[in-house]
Amino acid sequence: MTETTSKTKTSGLIQPTRRGALKTLAMGAGAAATMPLWARYTSAQSAEPIRIGFGKHATGIGAAYGRWYERTSVAAIEKINGEGGINGRPVELVTEDDGTDPRRAAEVLEKFANQSNCDVAFGTLFSHVVVGAAPRAGELKLPYFVCSEGHHVASGMLNRWTMQPGITDVKSQISAMAPFITDVLGKKVTMIYPDYAFGYDHRDNLAPAIEAAGGEIVGSIAIPPTETSFTKYFPQIPRDTEVIYHVMIGPAVLTFVKEMGEFFGPSRPEIFGFIDSLEATDLTSPGLEFLDGTYFWEGMPRYLQDDAPDYVTAYRDAVGLDANGASVSDPSDVSTSAHMFSCWETLHVIKAGMEAAGYQSTEDRQALIEAVEAMTLMEAGPAHPGGTKMFNGKTHQVFGPQYISKVEGGKLVVQKTVDYEETMYPDEVDYTSMSF
């Protein structure tokens, strides 16, 4: 087992009320930082650390995400501990490789609950991993906070112990993008997507969204996530296609984009992609020049925008990002910026939920879930650098801003921000009516 542990300061807050904790969180952080070392643990009922089990995609097709999810999580834990920890206790991140594999992820959850004495589990990204592991979280009664963006949580297919409070889901993202695609780029859309749960979210939600916006899907191409060459798929794109919509994930994404450019040359249709296709990929890489002038969805901008507020630059500095969204220590190490912010925000939600619930031990796990279910507006700021969001306790899903960016000179420049109010949709489930 690989463990990443971060311990520093703790706070003087004692079992706050749910509403009070959410209001005083920021004030308590500043006070705790000025407390002498001997005083920082005196108010806690236990000096034992709160242990958060992090399911990391250290190997498998999600490895690039896993690496940056961990860096972001470690930075968030350092910030939280530096501001006083949670309920007077330091926080530890316990990291296990889930191999980007559903069966292994379920085993990791069991290890968190039964061997590592973790209070909660957190972090998983890939949809098929979440879907495979969530039932075990329900059986273990282990709070499982995922950073996946799949629609599986809000659709009602999981359980009350699984929540997604730090990143928006595909359905809300697509509903925000579709009007832009049909109004600006074209009405006839061909989509290219990975042949598994995450891709199916795009397949199932794009068609109705595009149709509602006055367009139509003229082609739909599913590609196995383990594919290494894509040239054979491009002739399947209908000739009347005006817009190619692509979302691909895995180690071969650079090959996918390069081969698409070679196939179309200068006479390409308009292109709208989800940045998943190029996360952790340098946009100035040879072969990507043809992307200039194309558009992407981003969950949080990779490149530092000119109008970025101070809390965004503070978040980027804490994680170690340069202005291009790469590691400050290695410009070739490009981040997964559009997704990894969710780890930062989810950990702050866990902190706020534990403080609202007066969390002291695993006996309080149900109270933690109920406290998070009671949350609503999450204001943009140090805890939520991705922007102001609204959490829906019934569906266990957060709704937040979406960013439409254009490739200009090898950089992503935000063209439009769609606020959370425009991304919400009717509830499909009420988890709060389900038993624990």
Are 375 and 411 in a shared domain?
no
Are 161 and 180 in a shared domain?
no
CATH number of the domain where residue 178 is located = 3.40.50.2300
Q: Look up tokens 């006083």; give the residue.
A: 84
Question: What integer pLDDT is reported at residue 84 of this predicted model?
Answer: 97
Are 262 and 218 in a shared domain?
yes
Are 162 and 252 in a shared domain?
no
Count of beta carbons in the 10 Å neighbourhood of residue 381 = 17
Are 418 and 299 in a shared domain?
yes
- Domain containing 159 equals 18-169+338-400+427-433
Question: What integer pLDDT is reported at residue 315 of this predicted model?
Answer: 98
Residue 244 lies in a domain: yes
Q: Could you tell me the pTM of the whole model?
A: 0.88
Cβ distance 127 to 198 under 8 Å? yes
Residue 267 lies in a domain: yes
Residue 121 lies in a domain: yes
pLDDT tens sequence for the chain (436 residues): 444 433 333 332 333 344 444 443 333 444 444 444 334 444 556 689 999 999 999 999 899 999 999 999 999 999 999 999 999 999 999 999 999 999 999 999 999 999 999 999 999 999 999 999 999 999 999 999 999 999 999 999 999 999 999 999 999 999 999 999 999 999 999 999 999 888 999 999 999 999 999 999 999 999 998 889 999 999 999 999 999 999 987 667 788 989 999 999 888 999 999 998 899 999 998 888 989 999 999 999 999 999 999 999 999 999 999 999 999 999 999 999 999 999 999 999 999 999 999 999 999 999 999 999 999 999 999 999 999 999 999 999 999 999 999 999 999 999 999 999 999 999 999 999 999 9
Are 186 and 268 in a shared domain?
yes
Domain count, the chain: 2
Are 303 and 384 in a shared domain?
no
Cβ distance 296 to 416 under 8 Å? no
Are 194 and 299 in a shared domain?
yes
CA separation (Å) from 360 to 90, 372, 387?
12, 16, 30
Question: What integer pLDDT is reported at residue 7 of this predicted model?
Answer: 36
- Cα angle 352, 168, 61 (rounded to 5 degrees) comes to 105
Residue 7 lies in a domain: no
Residue 327 lies in a domain: no
Residue 261 lies in a domain: yes
Are 209 and 93 in a shared domain?
no
Are 40 and 147 in a shared domain?
yes
Are 178 and 158 in a shared domain?
no
Are 414 and 274 in a shared domain?
yes
Residue 388 lies in a domain: yes
Question: What integer pLDDT is reported at residue 44 of this predicted model?
Answer: 57
Nearest to 414 by CA among 325, 330, 353: 325
Residue 91 lies in a domain: yes
